[in-house]
Amino acid sequence: MSVRERPSAAGRWVPWVARTAGVTALALSAVGLTAVAAEAADEPRGFTIEDSRITESSGLAASHTHKGVYWTHNDSDDGPYVYAVDGRTGKTVARVTMRGIDPRDVEAISIGPDGDIYVGDIGDNLDGTWNEVWIYRFPEPKRLDGDVTVTPTRYTVRYADGPRNAESLMVHPKTGRVYIASKNAQGKAGVYAGPKELTPGAVNTFSRVSDIDFEATDGAFSPDGSRLVLRGYFSGYAYRWRDGKPEKISSLPVPLQRQGESVTFTPDGRTLMFGSEGVRSPVEPVRLTGKAVPSSVQKEDAENSGGSQGNGGGGGSDDGNNRTLGLGAATLVAAFAVWWGLRRLFRRRGD
Whole-number Cα distances in Å, 221 to 13, 253, 311, 329: 62, 17, 20, 41
Phi, psi of 273 (to 5 degrees): -110, 120
345 and 249 share one domain: no
Residue 160 and residue 276 in one domain: yes
Side chain identity at 345, as an amino acid letter? L
Q: What is the pLDDT of residue 78?
A: 84
Tell me the sheet residues that pair with 190: 211
Q: Is 304 part of a structural domain of the chain?
A: no
Q: Quick check: 73 and 106 in contact, CB under 8 A?
A: yes
309, part of any domain = no
Which distant-in-sequence residues (6+ apart) come within 8 Å of 67 by Cβ? 267
Interatomic CA distance for residues 249 and 33, integer angstroms:
35
Q: In sequence order, what are the residues at sequence separation of 6 or more whose Cβ sits closer than 8 angstroms to the Cβ of residue 276?
A: 57, 257, 258, 259, 260, 261, 262, 282, 283
Residues 330 and 234 in one domain: no
142 shares a domain with 78: yes
Does some domain include residue 96?
Answer: yes
- Are 167 and 26 in the same domain? no
Domain range enclosing 149:
45-288
Task: State residue 126's pLDDT score.
Answer: 85
pLDDT for residue 344: 54
Domain shared by 97 and 239, yes or no: yes
For the chain, 351 residues long, give each residue's pLDDT as a single digit of tens.
Answer: 444 444 444 444 444 444 544 444 444 444 444 444 444 456 789 999 999 999 999 999 999 999 999 999 998 768 999 999 999 999 999 999 999 999 999 999 999 999 999 999 999 988 888 999 999 999 999 999 889 999 999 999 999 999 999 999 999 999 999 999 999 988 899 999 999 999 999 999 999 999 999 999 999 999 999 999 999 999 999 999 999 999 999 999 999 998 999 999 999 999 999 999 999 999 999 999 999 999 999 999 999 987 654 444 444 334 444 444 444 444 444 555 545 554 554 455 455
Domain co-membership, 190 together with 330:
no
The rounded distance, in Å, linking the Cα atoms of 129 and 142 is 38
Tell me what pLDDT residue 337 has: 52
Nearest alpha-carbon partner for 165 in 213, 214, 130: 130
Which residue, 201, 203, 211, 216, is CA-closest to 169? 216
| pLDDT score at 187 | 85
Residue 327, number of CB atoms within 10 A of its CB: 15
Q: Is residue 260 part of a domain?
A: yes
> Do 125 and 262 belong to one domain?
yes
Instruction: Report pLDDT for 18.
Output: 44
Shared domain for 169 and 208, answered yes or no, is yes
Q: What are residue 322's phi and psi, to 5 degrees?
A: -65, -40
Query: In terms of DSSP bridges, do strands 203-212 and 153-159 run parallel, antiparallel, or are they unpaired?
Result: parallel
Residues 136 and 250 in one domain: yes
CATH assignment at residue 53: 2.120.10.30
Q: Distance from CA of residue 101 to its chain's centroid?
A: 30
Residue 67 sits in the same domain as residue 182: yes
Task: Identify whether 294 is part of a domain.
Answer: no
Number of domains within the chain: 2
> What is the radius of gyration, based on Cα positions, of the chain?
28
The answer on 69 and 194 residing in a single domain is yes
How buried is 236 (Cβ within 10 angstroms: 0-12 exposed, 13-18 middle, 19+ buried)?
buried
